[in-house]
Amino acid sequence: METTARWRSAVDLAIDYASGALSPVDVTAEILDAITAENKAINAYCLVDEDAAMESARASARRYAAGRPLGPLDGVPVSIKDLLLTAGWPTLRGSELINPGDMQWDVDAPAVARLREAGAVLLGKVTTPEFGWKGVTDSLRHGVTRNPWDTDRTSGGSSGGSAAAVAAGLGALSVGTDGGGSIRIPASYCGIVGLKPTFGRVPLYPASPFGSLAHAGPMTRTVADCAVMLDVLSGFDSRDWWAMPAPAARAADVLAQRPRDLTGTRIAYSADLGFGSNSVGVQRNTEAAVDVLRGLGAQVTEVDIEWQDPAWAYHILWFSGAEAVVRAFGPGATEKIDPGLARALVRHRDFSAADYLDATALRMSMGVQMGKLHESFDVLVTPTMPTVAFEAGVDVPAESESQDWTSWTPYSYPFNLTGQPALTVPSGFDGGEAGRPALPTGLQFVGARHHDDTILRIAAAYEAAAPFTTLDSITKGSR
């Protein structure tokens, strides 16, 4: 079945541009038209710059015509999460506290700079909850971002605008951030690929107030696109004192070596990390995905991680940063922020230096345990989320016993504590009762630090054996 250009992968777009089968100008125009027609329903974009996008697309077309593209993302349409500085556009961070006129907005964050240097077409900024503080995407400034599969459901967060845009075909790629699951939660809920790289692989500037919990990474519709985008985003930037040098091997090249063969690959499987609980549908899809990995030749061993929920430690580290963000806006700021954030800051305050050190000690202990696990296993596989997306416009599902978003996303924030790379891919669908659409579920691959390429290779093999379903194919009735 023919697919319109807006649904082409980034890898395929680059091939089509080089052959002359497609033009960056036509593809960009098609996506901009789709944003105009469809963004109102999902509210993924909070800023669209049609003139700048078309100018960038025309420059890309000229490079392809001359046989001199800048790289594999030249001419590929991309959106930027509105937590990342982007020259020429305000970065409002989902907050009414930020006045667009207060800054000149003339600096690119490292990820944005690398995309611009690679010739990508920057379409605009996509939504985030205020300061990226929670696992769903809504804000007083920009309203509720919804799931393209069912607009009554949340897109997840905090990179919910990124996930919704990519899932809805409103751009091939997006840059998200992940301080506790903010790439993987919405990617799972929206049925796309999302990678939280090893901490330091993708530089950040300015430094995140959440310190070494915070990562930036690719959000895409295919694993190959994720690898190509990671290659572009990776590498040293002097503005980030944690930034690692560019890796010796390109992730995209690693994927090309043997994407369908997992013979000899050692996979640890945990359904719950010792403290989670999954819906029937998520558990069914996760077990089916593990069977696919076994069928590809992988040696899969069920392991007992036996963690106690580390949310207490995460809350100390996270909300210390959140309190500092709000405090910087001066007296009265708390009265102007998301009421949920204000309540959370009251719940999670009065931490001592000893508490902070205890939290840091726990994350170090978890890191040691994971390091030991990866001496025996190449990757750890878990569900990404224990359920499908819930109602849009609320911070936690109706059945939650806690007001904290960490209560319903047990498999994401532990790996921000450890700094490991973690990748989510679609694992199937669940729900759809009473005439509602079925919703995506996700499978998470967690690797040893600095082994991002390993999880991409294993995920690519899974993708080849169990191809992902896109919203476009559902709409066309091909599912």
182 is known as an active-site residue: yes
Catalytic residue, candidates 23, 56, 81, 234: 81
Do 442 and 466 contact (CB within 8 A), yes or no? no
473 is known as an active-site residue: no
Catalytic residue, candidates 23, 79, 159, 182: 182
**Segments of 197-274 assigned E as strands:** 215-220, 266-269
Do 392 and 152 contact (CB within 8 A), yes or no? yes
Q: Backbone dihedral region of 149: left (phi > 0), alpha (psi from -120 to 50 degrees) or beta?
A: alpha
Do 253 and 265 contact (CB within 8 A), yes or no? no
Task: Residue 257: count other Cβ atoms within 10 Å of its Cβ.
Answer: 10
279 is known as an active-site residue: no
- Residue 308 Cα distances to 14, 211, 312, 347, 429, angstroms: 46, 23, 10, 21, 29
Q: Which of 260, 257, 254 is closest to 298 using CA atoms?
A: 260
d(CA 338, CA 348): 15
d(CA 227, CA 178): 17
Q: Which of 461, 474, 473, 460 is closest to 195 using CA atoms?
A: 460
DSSP 3-state of 406:
helix
Do 102 and 146 contact (CB within 8 A), yes or no? no
**Segments of 8-145 assigned E as strands:** 45-48, 77-81, 121-126, 138-139, 143-144
Catalytic residue, candidates 9, 158, 174, 320: 158
CA dihedral 466, 470, 471, 473 (to 10 degrees): -90
End-to-end CA distance of the chain: 11
Which residues form the catalytic set? 81, 158, 182
